[in-house]
Amino acid sequence: MQFKLGRWHLSLAIVFVVLGFLLSTAFATQQRSGERPGPRKQNLIDFIEKQRREREKLGSQLVEARKNVAGLDSARAGRLGVLAKYSRELESLRVRAGLKGVSGRGIELLIGDAARIPLGADPDSFLIHDYDLQILINALWRGGAEAIAVNGERFVVNTGIRSAGSTILINSKPQGGPYRIKAIGASKRLVRTLKADSDAALLMGDYAQKYGLIVKLSTRNKVTIPPYKGSLRLQLLRRK
């Protein structure tokens, strides 16, 4: 009896070894796959947020530093007299390059996604895309805009509008809708060009009505556009 009991215990024990092995392996696997993504994802989100804040901080420091440099330049030039002409030229170049905040007559155009997307409809039609902004900005340039900013991002020589996933990057910074486009220029001409541009007119007219896009165009006596908050450093460019 004792021997018989031992025998069936033995084979049972072998299966239990396998069972235990599977149990701990499954447990370890579950721990690994169930636990890691959460904190990892959160870490990445935190990291991105931190970097974004850091960039904002550096951006405003840069603007401050540029302002100081410009101030020092003109103070120095005023003393030296002869340099005053160059200083003024430098100043106007800074304005043109987008390194100084500017204000003037112009327009403000608010454009945004539809408030709700009906079930089953193609959501693309109800959203503002990078190409929509490109159409509008290009029309504004054509209308003689002298300075443009979208959501406070000043347009400079190397500004691009491109989509990245579900957001639009302007000056490589993700922007969320609604997009507030500010342009300094002859307001009537800007409005006229916007309406004359077939794509822009379609977007702001028929599409906006059909899909419920937000479109608010207004002329302003004073539009304020902030300076460019990014780097303009050229590393590979050489004078021809």
Partner 1 sequence: MLPILGLLTGIILGLLFRVPVPAWMARYLGIALLAALDSALGGLRAGLEQKFNEKLFIGGFLANTTIAGLIVYIGDNLGIEIYLAAVVAFGVRLFQNLAIIRRHYFQIHHWE
Q: List residues binding partner 1 (CB under 8 A).
A: 6-30, 33
**Least distance to partner 1, CB of residue 32, Å:** 9
Q: In whole angstroms, give the CA distance from residue 140 to residue 108.
A: 11
**Least distance to partner 1, CB of residue 165, Å:** 24
**Least distance to partner 1, CB of residue 34, Å:** 10
Nearer to partner 1, 27 or 47 (CB): 27
Q: In whole angstroms, give the CA distance from residue 166 to residue 168.
A: 7
Nearer to partner 1, 18 or 234 (CB): 18
- Bridge partner residues of 224 (DSSP): 103
Q: In whole angstroms, give the CA distance from residue 129 to residue 112.
A: 10
Nearer to partner 1, 40 or 88 (CB): 40
**C-alpha gyration radius of the chain:** 30
**Least distance to partner 1, CB of residue 39, Å:** 18
**Least distance to partner 1, CB of residue 18, Å:** 6
Nearer to partner 1, 19 or 58 (CB): 19
Cα dist from 143 to 86, 129, 220, whole Å: 30, 22, 16
Q: In whole angstroms, give the CA distance from residue 235 to residue 240.
A: 15
Nearer to partner 1, 32 or 222 (CB): 32
DSSP 121-148: S-GGGGS--HHHHHHHHHHHHHTT-SEE
